[in-house]
Amino acid sequence: MRVAKLKPVLIVIGIILFLCYLAVFRIIKQLFRFPAPPFIGWFLDSDLRRGLQPPDKLIERSGIKQGMTVIDLGCGNGAYTNFVARAVGEQGKVYAVDIQTAMLRGLENKLARTENQDIRNVKLKKANAYDLPFEDGAIDLVYMVTVLQEIPDRDRALREVKRVLKPDGILAVSEIVIDSDYPRRSTTVKLCQREGFNLDGVFGGFWHYTARFRKAGSD
Calculate ∠ Cα 152-198-65, nearest 5°: 90
- pTM comes to 0.81
* CA–CA distance, 204 with 174 (Å, rounded to integer): 10
Specify whether the CB–CB gap between 212 and 192 falls below 8 A. no
Least confident window among 25-29, 50-54, 60-64: 25-29
Q: DSSP of 29-53, one letter per residue?
A: HHHS--PPPGGGHHHHTSHHHHHHS
Distances (CA, A) of 77 to 30, 194, 200: 23, 30, 28
* 95 three-state secondary structure: strand
Distances (CA, A) of 122 to 12, 42, 64, 185: 42, 21, 15, 30
- The pLDDT score that the predictor gives to residue 217 is 66
Does the pLDDT value for residue 13 go beyond 50?
yes
* 209 three-state secondary structure: strand
CA-closest candidate to residue 39, choices 102, 112, 108? 102
Does the pLDDT value for residue 185 go beyond 90?
yes
- The pLDDT score that the predictor gives to residue 181 is 87
- The pLDDT score that the predictor gives to residue 219 is 47
Give me the mean pLDDT over the 22-27 stretch.
51
Tens-place pLDDT, residues 140-168: 999 999 999 999 999 999 999 999 999 99
* CA torsion angle 36 41 43 44 (round to 10): 60
Indicate the pLDDT class of residue 67, thresholds 50, 70 and 90. very high
Residue 73 host element (H or E)? strand 69-73
Indicate the pLDDT class of residue 4, thresholds 50, 70 and 90. low
Tens-place pLDDT, residues 69-119: 999 999 999 999 999 999 999 999 999 999 999 999 999 999 999 999 999
* CA–CA distance, 150 with 169 (Å, rounded to integer): 23
